[in-house]
Amino acid sequence: MNNLLSNMNAPEPTVILTGDFNFPFVKWTKGAHNGCRWEINSSSTTLDEKAQFLKLTEVVDKYNLVQAIEEPTRERNTLDLVFTNDISIFAHIEVLKSSLSDHHQIEVTTNFKTNNRDINNETPNYGGETDFWQLNFHNDNVSWSTINKEINDIPWHILF
């Protein structure tokens, strides 16, 4: 992470760094300008874990990254973090329970403007006689209860 960030010109580009940082001993509290400050609960961590976290704080401080998630993302812990060098880019952040993971889902809405030159506005064609956009998911002949049962019977907790 340090090598990647050191090769970027400041203040461009806007950086958004996300992930499961897995520091359950850190409490995050939202500050005045929507960034979060941290506090370590020393009684619930090892010296190695604390050293890893302090190394992370050195890197994010060096590149002026601010952490934006205050809410718990797994049980009572804020493990999944979102760092940026431009906190004003976030128009809205919401942490939602997920049925697919033991971690909550983080939805971030930004006011980021993109250069549209690389965007293909054509409807995708997935080939075959009927493409995805022509499928009728409201057909009375589809046994949705059977499909839902099969999906629910998949051992998702083992697969993920």
Question: CA-to-CA distance for 67 and 38, rounded, in angstroms?
Answer: 9
Instruction: Say whether pLDDT at 96 is over 80.
Output: yes
CA distances from 33 to 53, 63, 69, 109 (A): 23, 18, 13, 17
Q: What is the pLDDT of residue 143?
A: 80
Question: CA-to-CA distance for 57 and 129, rounded, in angstroms?
Answer: 54
The 3-state DSSP composition of the chain as helix, strand, coil percent (nearest 5) reads 30, 25, 50
Question: CA-to-CA distance for 111 and 91, rounded, in angstroms?
Answer: 6
6-16 per-position pLDDT tens digit: 776 655 688 99
28-73 per-position pLDDT tens digit: 999 988 899 999 998 888 999 999 999 999 999 999 999 999 999 9
Q: What is the pLDDT of residue 62?
A: 92
The DSSP code sequence of 125-151 is ---SSS-GGG--TT-TTS-HHHHHHHH
Instruction: Say whether pLDDT at 120 is over 80.
Output: no
